[in-house]
Amino acid sequence: ENNRRCTKASSSAGEIIDWENEWGSDCTLRVYSDSKCRNPKSAVDGRLISIKDNICTRDLPTTCASGILDKFTSPFNATIVDQLEAAGAVVAGKTNLDEFGMGSHSVHSRFGAVKNLRRDADGRDLSAGGSSGGSAVAVAADQCYAALGTDTGGSVRLPAAYTGTVGFKPSYGLLSRWGVVAYANSLDTVGILGKKTSSVRDVFSILNKHDARDPTNITSSSRSRILSHLQAPRLASRLTSSPLRIGVPLEYNISELTPSVRQAWLLSLAHLQEQGHTIHPVSLPATKHALSAYYVLAPAEASSNLAKYDGVRYGTRSDGPDSDGQPDGYLYANTRGNGFGAEVQRRILLGTFSLSADAMDNYFIQAQRVRRLVQQDFNAVFAAAHPFAAAAASDASGIDRSTAADVDVIVCPTAPSPPPRLSDVSAGSSPLDAYVNDVFTVPASLAGLPAISVPVTVAESEQNPDADEVAGIQVIGQYGDDELVMKVGELLE
């Protein structure tokens, strides 16, 4: 079955064996034939893994939920798909998303909106979050052991928070993006969703390897440099039992936080304190500009990436007057006008504008500066310096490490509110309302840091008094501190 795996290396016919079940309910099975059991190749051997449909698969179409890639099938697998299959995992299927990963509620899809399994008290549909909403629901519905998504500005963490699953965005550059359709290259990461942090870790350990085909992928020698830097004497004990210093960013305590999210945050901090960890307020002042900077940078990169969908080289081609021998130009306009959905067209226009000569200085360049400030904010509060910035360089950048709060991780909400009703976030509603949901996820994306969202149960649901409310709580760590981030996530599960 989907999520069960024989825990014995070999068995013979007629024998009764125990089977492991991820979520606790053990069962026994009678072995039918001698040849069924073998040594598992890895922790994901025989497991079903769902794949977001902007990740290339040779055997199934890759549509990015876009009309422009309707019926497109890649001639090759993404490296991460090959890595999973080599480890024995089975591709369960491709999952729905916001077109090209652009959205926060998985409503901008050629295939229709993704629905959360949870509903409000009146039985109305709720958002599953986006853009990896289909992957999150596949995990929540037990259709797979884990799922791959992509996280450019929160697309794995937000759906995890809304569906009560675990969503992990690794440090930028650790997981290969070869065969992953680009949205915004300087921000794009492959993320993993699972019911528990342990299943996310199983998948992460298979994929966390250098891939020479992805030029942004961290080389093996840099990987060992990062690890030896992070495991410097004072820090090595963090992965064992010593108390951790937990940072609480004051700027995340905004008035828009709903009571249940604030309660989940407080419960999480109290829980960590009970286990002997200490809580420290920290300030990340550039946070308030992070969202605006993200929504300049991501569309700018997207407008460039999506220029290749011209109806000539890829995917769907619309008929244009030029097909009757008319002047050029119509084929391109018709293909893109018919093929891209409204949100993608909006991003292309935004990005093209902010990269244009007159607007460049006021938008793109300013947003890059804000991005640098966001990175410096994080570096100023983490005990571990950024592995790629030598101590001297960080001094030169003006960060006074003597005033650093020296925290190991930051703990904050993943989203300001529980999942909204699908009818309130449908494709025609205000784009700004959707963008605001990313306010807590984009800072880690701008800085390339590892971040995980784990479900924390609070007593009462605001939307459905008959059900417990589950809010996503996010753990953010220094670049390369992925194991520590997963460890703290696990403490909160």
Of 144-152, 240-248, 281-289, 407-415: span binding ligand GLN (CB under 6 A): 144-152
The stretch among 147-155, 200-208, 277-285, 324-332 that binds ligand GLN (CB under 6 A) is: 147-155
- Binding ligand GLN (rule: CB under 6 A), the pick from 104, 268, 305, 334 is 104
> Which stretch, 145-153, 309-317, 463-471, 474-482, contacts ligand GLN (CB under 6 A)?
145-153
Q: 66 vs 152, which CB is nearer to ligand GLN?
A: 152
Supply the minimum distance, in Å, between the C-beta of residue 21 and ligand GLN: 32
Structure tokens that stand for 346 in this block: 């909006």
Nearer to ligand GLN (CB atom), residue 97 or residue 383 = 97
Residue 106 or 217 with smaller CB distance to ligand GLN: 106
For residue 308, with 0-12 CB atoms within 10 Å meaning exposed, 13-18 middle and 19 or more buried, which class applies?
A: exposed
| Nearest residue (beta carbon) to ligand GLN | 155
Which of 133, 153, 167, 489 is close enough to bind ligand GLN by CB under 6 A? 153
Nearest-angstrom CA–CA distance, 106 and 72: 20
Classify 236 as helix, strand or coil.
helix
CB 65 within 8 A of CB 181: no
Terminal-to-terminal C-alpha distance of the chain: 25
Q: Concatenated DSSP letters for 349-379?
A: HHHHHHTSTTTTIIIIIHHHHHHHHHHHHHH
Q: What letter represents residue 289's amino acid?
A: H
3-state secondary structure 108-163: CCCCCCCEEEEECCCCCEEECCCCCHHHHHHHHCCCCCEEEEEECCCCCHHHHHHH
Q: How many of the chain's residues bind ligand GLN (CB under 6 A)?
A: 14
99 binds ligand GLN (CB under 6 A): no
Q: Read out DSSP for 408-455?
A: SEEEEESSSSSPPBGGGS-TTS-HHHHHHTTTTTHHHHHHT--EEEEE
Contact present, 65 and 313 (Cβ < 8 Å): no
Among 110-118, 150-158, 235-243, 358-366, which window interacts with ligand GLN (CB under 6 A)?
150-158
**Contact residue for ligand GLN among 31, 49, 92, 102 (CB under 6 A):** 102
Contact string 297-336 vs ligand GLN (x = CB under 6 A): -x--------------------------------------
CB of 165 to ligand GLN, least distance (A): 16
Indicate the residue among 247 and 341 with the shorter CB distance to ligand GLN.
341
Q: Which helix (H) or strand (E) holds 18?
A: strand 16-21
Q: Please list every residue from 430 through 489 that binds ligand GLN, using CB under 6 A.
A: 438
Binding status of residue 101 toward ligand GLN by CB under 6 A: yes
* Closer Cβ to ligand GLN, 102 or 458, answer by number: 102
Residue 458's SS3 state is strand
Residue 150 sits in the site that holds ligand GLN (CB under 6 A): yes
Crossing angle between the packed helical segments 366-381 and 287-305, to the nearest 10 degrees: 130
Task: By CB under 6 A, name the one of 50, 62, 155, 478 that touches ligand GLN.
Answer: 155
Interaction residues for ligand GLN, span 170-209 (CB under 6 A): 183
State in angstroms the smallest separation of the CB of 349 from ligand GLN. 15
Yes or no: say if 170 and 450 are a contact pair by the CB < 8 Å rule. Answer: yes
Q: What is the CA radius of gyration of the chain?
A: 23
Report whether 357 contacts 112 (CB < 8 A).
Answer: no
Task: Report the nearest approach of ligand GLN to the CB of residue 82 (Å).
Answer: 22
Residue with tokens 């025609």: 428
**Ramachandran angles phi, psi of 216, nearest 5°:** -95, 0
Shortest distance in whole angstroms from residue 154 CB to ligand GLN: 5
Give the shortest CB-152-to-ligand GLN separation in angstroms. Answer: 4
Q: Are 479 and 449 in contact (CB under 8 A)?
A: yes
Q: Which residue has the tokens 């290259």?
A: 185
Phi-psi sector, 152: left (phi>0), alpha (psi -120 to 50), beta: alpha
Instruction: State both tokens at 186.
Output: 């300087």
Q: Is 249 or 299 the residue whose CB approaches ligand GLN more closely? A: 299
With CB under 6 A as the contact rule, the residue among 55, 89, 99, 103 that binds ligand GLN is 103
Cite the active site residues.
52, 131, 155
Q: Which of 151, 202, 377, 481 binds ligand GLN (CB under 6 A)?
A: 151
Which of 129, 154, 170, 179 touches ligand GLN (CB under 6 A)? 154
Q: Which of 63, 96, 109, 152: binder of ligand GLN (CB under 6 A)? A: 152
- Which residues are near ligand GLN by CB under 6 A? 101-104, 131, 150-155, 183, 298, 438
